[in-house]
A and B are shown apart, each in its own frame.
Chain A
Amino acid sequence: DQQVKQNSPSLSVQEGRISILNCDYTNSMFDYFLWYKKYPAEGPTFLISISSIKDKNEDGRFTVFLNKSAKHLSLHIVPSQPGDSAVYFCAACGNEKLTFGTGTRLTIIP
């Protein structure tokens, strides 16, 4: 039951360039979407979120875009920094619980 999918298990980006992480979902009942960043041996850290009634939310270097008709969201990080290297999880909220994607490992190349 893969209601939330991140089809790219890994992504490498040059420092200073834009990182774009993608996420697709199937359940139209999800009403809120979140991105979490995770380092090894740590818990997921909340990064940015977006309500289903919006199509864009920006916070500093991070922007999340939501395309409801395509059931697709993306996280843009610009400019990418070495400290951004981590696993990024997309999560969708429905009935107060989070359904996570499988994660994308982002590596920023200095």
Chain B
Amino acid sequence: EPEVTQTPSHQVTQMGQEVILRCVPISNHLYFYWYRQILGQKVEFLVSFYNNEISEKSEIFDDQFSVERPDGSNFTLKIRSTKLEDSAMYFCASLRGVGVYEQYFGPGTRLTVT
């Protein structure tokens, strides 16, 4: 069964450093998402991406964040200058297309900023 994959599973970085989190969505899906979950809190929407551009973003997704689909398979989330409060689980999700709503999630990347 096709699944969303994410790398790395755990990333430790120092405050102020740039990180890139990688995702490979399900191959025939058209919509891509990043969510995050700070420890003990709920899963929060960050950004949605369709047709090679951002379709929606939350207030969390400020200028420090960017997303890219550099080739036909990868979908990346970049944080330019990490802050302590960026420590969280980051989940990538993908959606097949219009008229369906079931987003499929990857296993997540645990980002620890020290």
- A contact set with B: CB distance below 8 Å: 32, 34, 36, 41-46, 49, 89, 91, 93, 95-103
Contact = CB atoms under 8 A, between A and B. Distances in A.
Interface string B79-114: 000000000000101010000011111111000000
Nearest to B107: A43
A41 B109 CA distance: 9
B108 to A, nearest CB: 5
B39 to A, nearest CB: 12
Contacts of A36: 105
A75 B41 CA distance: 21
B42 to A, nearest CB: 5
B56 A97 contact: yes
Q: Is the interface of A mostly helix, strand, loop or mixed?
A: strand
Q: Is the interface of B mostly helix, strand, loop or mixed?
A: strand
Contacts of B108: 41-43
A93 B101 contact: yes
Contacts of B55: 96
A49 B42 CA distance: 19
Enumerate the 4 nearest inter-chain pairs by beta-carbon distance, A residue then B residue, closest first.
Answer: A43-B105, A100-B43, A32-B101, A102-B42
